[in-house]
Structure 1
Amino acid sequence: MTLSVDLFWSFRSPYSYLATPRLVALEAEYDLDIAVRPVRPIALREPDFFEKRGDRWMGYTLTDVVRLAEFLGLPIAMPNPDPVVIDPATRRAAQDQPHLTRLNRLAVEAVAHGSGLAFLDQVSRLVWSGEPWSDGDRLAAAVAESGLDLADLEARVAGDPDARDAVIRENESALETSGHWGVPTLVFEGEPFFGQDRIDLCVWRMKQKGLQAR
């Protein structure tokens, strides 16, 4: 019996990026369907989130992210451009978010094509490479690696962008209902497992419920 687990995930979360290759391997190893549910970053869902945590929290997080990437053997550099546009006057997320809106709508369409996890994997590798990911054909090449065509995805999104935005809102509501707010979060049978360091714990729980190797 194929088990299903929801994955709440954000393009601006380095931990989401660092978790994704392991999730790809997990879905390949086990009779498991990982239902990709992209959400907006916490900087948009809770505009004062980083202010409330202060400089020490951010300093530690940056240190931990670099260390974890080294441990996992994955490259990482600050996104260029940042998927979230920051208003320099307020140091908070700006009202207009062209990069994040584009990426999330594309991710929703990729999910509809049955390639959501592959899309997240390839595109997040590009975004977190430090290369100017929105320039030239870089994004198109990354999307092609996931087995999809960027021009086709964008044409479909353009036909009804509001419908894709509605999916994002539904995902965010479901994340909140699960009892958590952060990403990446796996939710299995209503139980949330927050963070890339809880993947193994989620696998343990799923094995209790019959998770089998393919």
Structure 2
Amino acid sequence: MRAPEKADIVPWIARTLSSPTTRRLRQQAYRLNALRKREGKVVDVFINPRDPFSFVLLQALPDLKQRYDIRFRCHTVWQQPQEMFPEPAMWADWAITDASRVASLYGLGGPNPSKHPSEEAFIVCRDQLLNLEDNGDYLTPACDALRALWRGEAIETARESSLSQPDLAERLRINEQRLSTLGHYQGSMLHFRGEWFWGIDRLDHLENLLIREGLTFSPPTDATWTRTWTDLGKHAKPLEQSHPARNDALEIFFSIRSPYSYLGLERAIMLANAWNLPLELRPVLPMLMRGQAVPDDKKWYIFQDTKREATKLGIPYGFVADPLGAGVERCYALFEYARAEGREVEYMRTYARAVNAEGIRSETDRGLQIIVERSGLDWHKARPMLNDQGWREWAENNRKAMYSHGLWGVPSFHYGSVSCWGQDRLWLIEDEIKKRGGD
């Protein structure tokens, strides 16, 4: 009997770190520390004027302030580290489009896609926000400043700054140091009880935490910031085989290593089945296998956030056996075989569940055999195909196709004229199905 290897133990560590008990203990530790500092009701908010999601987020905060017994402490940040934003130009274009879409979903103001702010305008707005941090009525003037910035309106510059440029620079440095110390790297984030909440997309998690903590002004209710996910596929009407909306498949660009891709795959399969829509899987290499970095802070946030999202959606996650390297290569080497058998969707879903929720080591023959046979495929036929390298060409073609849609991260989706990034944007795909006669 062989001795346990590190790779045998890591899934169990991941399972422990992502367990509800560990999460509760972490929240309790932060709660006690906050109470000791008399900051038990403080939610830290990090606003980056360069990030249009910050504009959308600020508009949502008055609603939370009205319904929950909390106090916002706002910090202006500025840096967007290159290792965290591997495609900065693409990110800037995507962020404006995506922030506009989610703002529209909630009836909020979004950035003007035709009026991208200048660097000078960003700096003026940044300094305004830094000055406002001492203002007891921060939210209203800060939102006004960001609205002027992102809507292309005249930016107020006449108001005399209460801080000198060196003081502004020092305050900015302190804010960014605090962001880093708490364990994050970008703006449009809220921090409470040791957890991070991105933009309005994760406000439902914050709401649920505040409700559990008893920080509501009225009898507890359900979270309300849930429009991106709560009704997906629930009112679908399966399309007839001859319906024109079925002429295009729902394409999903995903990586078998990406936790968000796992959620996206599960949700895309559900949506495609609900509408009787063809689903086309387009696997790509993980970022780390494409020469792009994923720093530890980013990996840790993604791991924790995926667990929250998975729990919310009823998808098992946390018993993770990272397939990076050989696991990914072996998965993709058998994809064409699975497709030839008409089992590619079941194969990829089984594989994703195995490495994300069952701790199965796909880089081993024992683990891969389990996955293959659960998918309805023949292990004896599959095993000789593991050395095939032909998949590298189609994986690269898939990456290029994804980039052609203005997207670089996974999971990304394309249907008809709509392209979007993130498992929490599938409502855009469903809206397009409805527009094409599915509703």
Normalised-by-shorter TM-score class? 0.7 to 0.9
What's the TM-score, normalizing by structure 1?
0.79
* AA matched with 2:411: P
Is the CA contact 1:18–1:196 (under 8 Å) kept in the aligned structure 2? yes
Q: Which residue of 1 aligns with 2:381?
A: 152
Provide the rounded CA distance (Å) in 2 between the counterparts of 1:178 and 1:206: 18
State, as a whole percentage, how many aligned pairs show the same letter: 28
- Equivalent in 317, 335, 357 of residue 76 of structure 1: 317
Q: Distance in 1 between matches of 2:276 and 2:314?
A: 26
Q: How many equivalent pairs are there?
A: 193
Q: Which whole-Å CA distance do the structure 1 matches of 2:418 and 2:379 have between them?
A: 34
Structure 1 residue 28 and structure 2 residue 273: aligned?
yes
Classify 1:128/1:162 alpha carbon distance in 2 versus 1 (closer, same or farther; 3 Å): same
CA distance in 1 between counterparts of 2:359 and 2:284 reads: 23
Contact kept? 2:256, 2:352, Cα under 8 Å: yes
| SS at structure 2 position matched to 1:209 | helix
Within a 5 Å distance, the mapping from 1:165-180 to structure 2 comes to: 165-180=392-407
Q: Could you tell me whether the CA contact under 8 Å between 1:108 and 1:167 is conserved in 2?
A: no
- For residues 85-108 of structure 1, what are the alpha-carbon distances to aligned partners after superposition, in whole Å with 9 as ceiling and x for unaligned? xxxxxxxxxxxx322211122224
Q: Contact conserved, 2:372 with 2:379, CA < 8 A, in 1?
A: yes
- Following superposition, the deviation at residue 195 of structure 1 comes to 0.7
Which aligned runs of 4 or more in structure 1 are off by greater than 6 angstroms?
A: none
Are the equivalent residues in 1 in contact too, given 2:334–2:385 (CA < 8 A)? no
Q: Report the counterpart of residue 195 of structure 1 in structure 2.
A: 422
- RCO greater where, 1 or 2, for CA within 8 Å and sep 6 or more? 1
- With 130-139 and 21-30 compared, the bigger mean Cα shift is at 130-139
Q: What are the equivalent positions in structure 2 for 1:58-77 lying under 5 Å apart?
A: 58-77=299-318
Residue matched to 1:7: 252
Q: What residue in structure 2 maps to residue 92 of structure 1?
A: none
Per-residue displacement from partner, 1:48-71 (whole Å, max 9, x unpaired)?
Answer: 3x24xx72x444322211111211
Change in Cα spacing, 1:108 to 1:176, as seen in structure 2 (3 Å) is farther
Letter in 1 for 2:331: L
Per-residue CA deviations over 1:105-148 (Å, capped at 9, x if unaligned) read 22243234322221111111101125242346443233233222
Question: Is the CA contact (8 Å cut-off) linking 1:75 and 1:129 kept in structure 2?
Answer: yes
Taking only aligned residues, the RMSD between alpha carbons, in angstroms, comes to: 2.3
Deviation at 1:162, TM superposition (A): 3.4
**Aligned counterpart in structure 2 of residue 115 of structure 1, from 328, 343, 354:** 343
Q: 1:179 to 1:113 in 2, by over 3 A?
A: farther
Q: Distance in 2 between matches of 1:153 and 1:211?
A: 39
Counterpart secondary structure, 2:249: strand
The whole-number CA distance in structure 1 between the counterparts of 2:367 and 2:282 is 24
Cα shift at 1:152: 2.0
Q: Can you give the 5+ residue segments of structure 1 that lack an aligned partner in the other structure?
A: 85-96
Cα separation, 1, equivalents of 2:384 and 2:417: 35
Residues 210 and 195 of structure 1: CA distance in aligned 2, closer, same or farther (over 3 Å):
same
Q: Deviations over 1:146-186 (max 9, x none)?
A: 2222332343455xx23222111111111111110111111
Q: Which residue of 1 aligns with 2:369?
A: 140
Residue 12 of structure 1 aligns to a residue whose secondary structure is coil
Partner of 2:199: none
Letter in 2 for 1:196: Q
Query: What SS class does the counterpart of residue 315 from structure 2 fall into?
Result: coil
Q: Determine the structure 2 residue equivalent to 1:131.
A: 359
Deviation at 1:190, TM superposition (A): 4.8
Q: Distance in 1 between matches of 2:380 and 2:407?
A: 35
Q: Residues 101 and 204 (structure 1 numbering): CA distance in 2 closer, same or farther, change over 3 Å?
A: same
Q: Secondary structure at the match of 2:308?
A: helix
